[in-house]
Amino acid sequence: MINQTTYTASEINDIWIKYQQKKRIVYPQMTEQNNDVKTDSAKKHLELFQHFGGEFVDLSKISIPELFDHYEKIDFIYPDKKKKLQDHITLIQKNWEKAFTLKNEISIFLKVSGEVAGQALFSSLQAWRPTCHGLQIHHLTSNYPSWTCATILAIMSKAKKDQYVAGQFYYRPDNVYPARVFGELATIISPEYMVDIPFHYLEVPAVNERIDTIHVKQCTNKHQYGICDFAKQIRGPVYTIGEELNCYDIEMNNLDNIYQKAGLRRRRYIWMAFHDGKQVAAIIVNRGPFGLNLSFIENKCDILLIPDIDTQLAHKVLKSLLYHASTAYFSNVSEIVYPVDYIPVMADSLCYPLLLELGAKEIRKYNQSIWLMNGFDEWSPNMENIFEPVLADSKKIKNIAPGSETYMKQHNEYFMEHPLDNWRLERKVNPRQFVHKYIKKYLKKAANVLEIGCGPGIIAKFIGENYPDISLTVIDKSHEKTKKTNENTKFLEKIQISGGEIYKLPLRDNSYDFIFCRLLFQYLKEPQTAVNEMMRVCKKGGTIMVQDLDGQMLSHYPEKNDLQTLIERISKIIAENQGFDPYVGRKLFSFFNLAGLKQIKIRFDEYHKIAGTIDKKNYKLWEAKLEIALPELIWVLGSEKKARQLKDDYLNYLLDKKTFTFSHMMTAYGIKE
């Protein structure tokens, strides 16, 4: 299932460039009369997918156990998820096998696989049918953004071609990759076409006690009791259309007939609560083949509450509605197997604290992204535009010259992004020493602290464990970094972890007493903008601290001319095109001054001081750093052989007992007045 034709790096790049050229032709100003252009846009997306070697897989030829083994191998089914699935894996795989027997009527599977610059790559995506006229994409696995973009556009183009009405995607907001794409899309696309709704995904215990004081009616196809208008009032028209609450068949009988052809069922049950003759709440229970989505979203329960409901009344209403919902999960009403003992509720910010008081446990946070197909021609080109910076993986393609416009567009990411980087960063700093030496006195008098560029979170962990009264927010644009920070700080309640860009922090003005950023500015193309943004979120009277290096990799003696010249050339090209600045430390004072910070202080420390042969620990760290930077070196030097030779020469220089290498650490402090 996984093997496929191998594509060279240049071929992949040529396909993408040709498509981009076509794209500029395909998207003139859209008008109601220009329907041929709208149709062609979907066609071009499908062509791109096919040119990459992508295919809509014949589901009957997929081995479900093999697919699950693949998911586990690539850590899509990670250990905690595997543990949660293991007692039900036979039922889940059986439901998948049944769903896959109906060609594209319940599930669709897309994949692209091949090789780019010697690296094996694979992207896959599933979509399933939660409503009669909607598709929900899920189970996205990819290690190559070009293919991710092409795959998402292909499935939605097929959905448009097949006259689906809406698309959906649930993503974790701490997962930077989808949050960046779908979250940003929702801020660009007209709200009449797309919404992005944050939820808390909860395990809610069954309610077995009926509350007769609350008037509840079941909404059926025959008696809908205004569920469509109520859903529009609470969640808006896009949610209402996307969940198909605006149609006659709110019970999903027609969709259930399709599922029954595969020996499965798909049902929906809705109850409306009234108080003083007015609608106050509704509960929407979705029932489907257990595990069709590996987070069990096919069986999700939505609760809609009017925003001004009294808290005491809300508790009674929720208990009453959950009592009715429990019958759909834990009795034989639906005839659908449901082997767990909780109701999976997607709770909005109003319901969340109320349900916690009823004994609910949070599984994770999710955002539900919903878009309507009649906005496809606004949605799809904007998705491509957002993916442009995400296409940093394309830097492995060797036929784009450093310094070209394409190079500069693609090289705007942290180029040290690599699974090995977490290992390196965890060993580079002693969090206790850092805190006590540089920020202890500021933490003592701060209530709200922000760390920007948190890396794997070891400093955050130390602060959380030793300063429990501090509310700490940590931000990193890297999903791998925030994921690792989550692991390192999962038992520390007062730490908030977020994906985010330093140039546009997802935070309110004047929010933090102390903000610090360590060893990030050397990678920024717009450091002044970054300081200005830190000023925005800092409280009046608060302190900002930025720490970074000066002279990294460039200060040596005796100089080995060929090596020194090559390092300086590489640094210059990366600095010009991407923003890497090995001398950023000496510029911090100026950045702070221009931002308007007062009482600026600069601390000057040695950082690297390698006199003679480097020690084993630091040798390993340098070796890892150069290995991570290898794709960037290949770009600049034009071949992997030259890049690896440079790596070996530099490491040998550090091993030479006659050489001296050094750099300095600059730490700037300033107060917002």
Same-domain status, 343 and 261: yes
Number of domains in the chain: 3
In CATH, what number is assigned to the domain containing residue 117?
Answer: 3.40.630
Position 27 scores a pLDDT of 27
255-269, 543-557, 580-594, range with the lowest pLDDT: 543-557
Position 411 scores a pLDDT of 40
Q: In this structure, is residue 12 part of a structural domain? A: no
Position 492 scores a pLDDT of 85
User: Of all residues in the chain, what percent are helix, strand and coil, respectively (each to 5)?
Assistant: 45, 25, 30
User: What digits encode the pLDDT tens for the residues 254-302?
Assistant: 999 999 999 999 999 999 999 999 999 999 999 999 999 999 999 999 9
Question: Are the C-beta atoms of residues 351 and 176 closer than 8 Å to each other?
Answer: no
Q: In this structure, is residue 4 part of a structural domain? A: no
Dihedral over alpha carbons 254, 260, 262, 268 (to 10 degrees): 70
Rounded to whole angstroms, the Cα distance separating 154 from 532 reads: 40
Question: Are the C-beta atoms of residues 174 and 486 closer than 8 Å to each other?
Answer: yes
Same-domain status, 383 and 467: no
120-124, 327-331, 351-355, 577-581, range with the lowest pLDDT: 577-581
Nearest Cα neighbor of 456 from 421, 430, 490 is 421
pLDDT at 303 over 80: yes
Work out the average pLDDT over 124-147: 88
37-51, 124-138, 183-197, 287-301, range with the lowest pLDDT: 37-51
Q: In this structure, is residue 637 part of a structural domain? A: yes
Q: HSE on the CB side for 115, CA within 13 Å?
A: 9
Same-domain status, 155 and 88: yes
Question: Are the C-beta atoms of residues 411 and 397 closer than 8 Å to each other?
Answer: no
Rounded to whole angstroms, the Cα distance separating 57 from 73 reads: 20
What is the band of 314 on the pLDDT scale with cuts at 50, 70, 90? very high
Tell me which residue range forms the domain holding 429: 419-672
Same-domain status, 47 and 78: yes
Position 177 scores a pLDDT of 65
Which letter does DSSP use for residue 549 in this model?
Answer: E
Rounded to whole angstroms, the Cα distance separating 592 from 435 reads: 22
User: Phi then psi for 433, rounded to 5 degrees?
Assistant: -65, -45
Same-domain status, 642 and 529: yes
Mean pLDDT of the chain: 84
Rounded to whole angstroms, the Cα distance separating 142 from 149 reads: 10
User: What digits encode the pLDDT tens for the residues 212-223?
Assistant: 889 999 999 999
Name the CA radius of gyration of the chain, rounded.
27
In CATH, what number is assigned to the domain containing residue 563?
Answer: 3.40.50.150
pLDDT at 196 over 60: yes
126: which strand partners? 109, 138
Position 380 scores a pLDDT of 83
Position 417 scores a pLDDT of 63
Same-domain status, 367 and 383: no
Question: Are the C-beta atoms of residues 571 and 580 closer than 8 Å to each other?
Answer: yes
Contacts of 668 (CB under 8 A, 6+ apart): 545, 546, 547, 588, 589, 591, 592, 600, 601, 602, 603
Q: In this structure, is residue 18 part of a structural domain? A: no
Nearest Cα neighbor of 333 from 273, 269, 271 is 269
Same-domain status, 428 and 342: no
Rounded to whole angstroms, the Cα distance separating 654 from 622 reads: 9
Q: In this structure, is residue 596 part of a structural domain? A: yes
Question: Are the C-beta atoms of residues 119 and 396 closer than 8 Å to each other?
Answer: yes
Same-domain status, 186 and 209: no
Question: Are the C-beta atoms of residues 429 and 451 closer than 8 Å to each other?
Answer: no
* Higher-scoring residue by pLDDT: 190, 627: 190
Position 117 scores a pLDDT of 52
Q: In this structure, is residue 393 part of a structural domain? A: yes
Position 467 scores a pLDDT of 94
Position 390 scores a pLDDT of 46
Q: In this structure, is residue 414 part of a structural domain? A: no
Q: Select, from the ranges 175-184, 274-283, 574-583, the one with the highest average predicted confidence (pLDDT).
A: 274-283
User: Phi then psi for 102, rounded to 5 degrees?
Assistant: -95, 110
- Which sign does the torsion angle of CA 478, 484, 488, 490 carry? positive
pLDDT at 41 over 60: yes
Same-domain status, 220 and 148: no
pLDDT at 197 over 60: yes
pLDDT at 426 over 80: no
What is the band of 141 on the pLDDT scale with cuts at 50, 70, 90? confident
Q: Select, from the ranges 45-54, 464-473, 572-581, the one with the highest average predicted confidence (pLDDT).
A: 464-473
Question: Are the C-beta atoms of residues 281 and 273 closer than 8 Å to each other?
Answer: yes
Contacts of 86 (CB under 8 A, 6+ apart): none
Same-domain status, 226 and 292: yes
Most distant CA pair in the chain: distance in Å? 89
With pLDDT > 70 as the criterion, what percentage of the chain qualifies?
85
CA distances from 345 to 29, 158, 175, 200, 574 (A): 42, 30, 21, 8, 48
Q: In this structure, is residue 404 part of a structural domain? A: no
Nearest Cα neighbor of 434 from 553, 626, 607 is 607
Nearest Cα neighbor of 636 from 336, 361, 316, 411 is 411
What is the band of 105 on the pLDDT scale with cuts at 50, 70, 90? very high
Rounded to whole angstroms, the Cα distance separating 642 from 633 reads: 8
User: What digits encode the pLDDT tens for the residues 231-241?
Assistant: 999 999 999 99
Same-domain status, 580 and 656: yes
Question: Are the C-beta atoms of residues 397 and 12 closer than 8 Å to each other?
Answer: yes
End-to-end CA distance of the chain: 62
Dihedral over alpha carbons 637, 640, 642, 646 (to 10 degrees): 100
pLDDT at 670 over 70: yes
Position 409 scores a pLDDT of 39
Rounded to whole angstroms, the Cα distance separating 138 from 171 reads: 9
Same-domain status, 43 and 99: yes
What is the band of 598 on the pLDDT scale with cuts at 50, 70, 90? very high
